[in-house]
Chain A
Amino acid sequence: MTMLLAVRDLRVSFPGATGPVYPVDRVSFELARGETVALVGESGSGKSLTGMALLNLVPAPGEVAPGSSVSLEGTEILKLRGEPLRRIRGARIGMVFQDPLASLNPVISVGDQIRETIQAHLPLGRREARTRAEALLAEVGLAGTPEGYQRYPHQLSGGMRQRVMLAIALAAEPDLLIADEPTSALDVTVQAQILTLLEGLRRARGLTVLLITHDLGIVAGRTDRVLVMYAGRIVEAAPTAELFAHPAHPYTAGLLGSLPRLRGPRQPLRPIPGQVPSPGDWPAGCRFHPRCAKSFAPCREEPPIVEVAGGHHMRCWLGKSGDSA
């Protein structure tokens, strides 16, 4: 497998009352070409910021800390500025945001919004770009007719808007699509449609997808690997089936335990007590240990990264002590 994107020690800093805080703290992962990877975490875990940082889009006053590296097939994205950076955004890496209504310009027709993104990256005339935009609309399951092209965002349903967002994100044929909670603002039935569409587009175009979500339910069966994020760090990374079958990190096990199950013996939901701490007051050592049922003395120290099985890593002391989690 060839690596499309390599992220090394990604840190995002925000100014805090007592010095900078790091909502994303030394995150490293790789995406292979053609892979679909889920980045899963609760609100406040830093997963969305991670997605934005990949395109150097962290909102002010936040910034990507020095020493971070995001490499797209050898091109260091974080070092780019101005025109070269603009050429990556949209053309190599597309992005879809959570709220499709807020993400569309209310005063421009959806067709023109797609056409303009095409023209921002490809040397096409207005007419050719329009033809392509209509084809894209049809590809995402919306009428590629002149009437469909002329519609405004407020005339579309939530699901249709998200389809438009996908068409815009794919307008310039990117290699990688970052989808930040693409279905969280939608009804469950529409969610499934959008995810199925996304899967179809991925196959047809050989896309690599980074799916950022808080919803483990949409991850199973639709992704190749899962990265579990907690308090600014990736705490577990595993192939999807392996993660659901053998969650190693107590946090992942807790997340899965708090999901209702259809099969197997009836058992009460087990929520994880407490909340994700805010970036200013993360505990020393393992950041999950105050909420962890299995915490013991070593957890006050920085936990090691251990390989649980082939391609399955976690950041926890339990693996080190030989205890099966």
Chain B
Amino acid sequence: MTTDGWLRQLWLRPAGRVGVILLVVMSLTAAIGPAFLPDPLAQPDLAQGGLRPPDQIHLLGTDYHSRDVMARVVTGARVSLAVAFGAVLLSITLGGMVGLAAGYLGSWIDAALMRLVDAALAIPRLFLLLIMVASMERIPLWLLIVAIGATGWFGTSRLVRAEVRRLRAMDFVRSAEALGATRRRILARHLLPNVLGPLTVATTLAVGDVILLEAGLSFLGLGVQPPTPSWGGMIMENKSFLVTAPWTSLAPGLAIVIAVVAVNLIGESLHQDPAPPLS
């Protein structure tokens, strides 16, 4: 099955189509939207005070510092989506490599890697992240991505390892061995492509997790630092006005929900038929 076939299948399923449309619209908005919106850091009516409800000038109202909520949500999408995709890309790469190595090479390499993963999984991810980011005053975006990516591959590596072990016992891998295929070829041509199905599903579902994780970190004040907007950070900044000015936290909250639902719809659609049958 080619990549082409994958996208086609995704598009043919209603849920997948909705997910793709939502995600594409969100990404495009994040990419070009800020150009058409007010400066997310500007404080136009600082004197009169902020927290203006939605009107024609500020479609989603303003926050306490009189900053435009819509501009901040759209700009914040850049951080949230960049962190989500960057971190997930990193963690599936790490998890995939560790899983392939452990599953294919077996013996002590497998044992060592998997005990390491067991140990890492025993510590809640948020703690691991807190240890990594709390020690720094200001966290650059790339470091946040690395930190989240580096703590997210444990489960993936287990998934890949289990799948590789199953595949390795299958006749086509044994047959390739019997016909003198090199290790590298077996890994690259026989194991990796057949692991991509479950890996893709896991990946899309992980994107939703990471969006929430980044929001959670920002909410705790450990993510992207103010005044740079991010979804989680906005909810945190505006939590005191949840009753008096609900639009300030509702807007980023809804953005998180939509983004997570979108990637989950995609993941679910892929999950239904991730790969051609093996037997």
Contact = CB atoms under 8 A, between A and B. Distances in A.
Given A102-B171, A105-B190, A107-B193, A152 B276 contact: yes
Contacts of B8: none
Contacts of B170: 102
B123 interface: no
Interface string B188-200: 0110011000000
Interface stretch (B35-43, B178-186, B242-250): B178-186
A97 B171 contact: yes
Given A101-B279, A106-B278, A95 B178 contact: yes
Contacts of B177: 57, 89
B276 A105 contact: no
Given A106-B194, A121-B180, A154-B277, A116 B189 contact: yes
A102 B277 CA distance: 10
A200 interface: no
Contact of A90 (B1, B169, B179, B275): B179
Interface string B256-279: 000000000000000000011111
A249 to B, nearest CB: 31
Given A105-B189, A107-B276, A116-B185, A99 B171 contact: yes
Contact of B180 (A86, A97, A108): A86
Contacts of A49: none
Contacts of A52: 178
A106 B278 CA distance: 6
Interface in A153-184: 154, 165, 168-169, 171-172
Contacts of B48: none
A14 to B, nearest CB: 15
A101 B170 CA distance: 11
Contacts of B190: 105, 108
B180 A87 contact: yes
Contacts of B185: 116, 120
Contacts of A91: 180
A118 B180 CA distance: 10
B178 A90 contact: yes
Q: Give the bracket for the number of chain B residues in contact with chain A.
A: 20 to 34
Contacts of A196: none
A168 B190 CA distance: 15
A46 interface: no
A60 B169 CA distance: 10
B276 to A, nearest CB: 5
Nearest to B169: A59
B175 interface: yes
B181 A104 contact: no
Contacts of A165: 175
17 contacts: A52-B178, A59-B169, A88-B180, A89-B180, A90-B178, A90-B180, A90-B181, A91-B180, A103-B171, A105-B193, A105-B194, A107-B1, A107-B194, A117-B180, A121-B180, A168-B175, A172-B179
Interface of B: 1, 106, 169-172, 174-182, 185, 189-190, 193-194, 275-279
3 shortest A-B CB distances, which residue pairs?
A90-B180, A90-B179, A89-B180
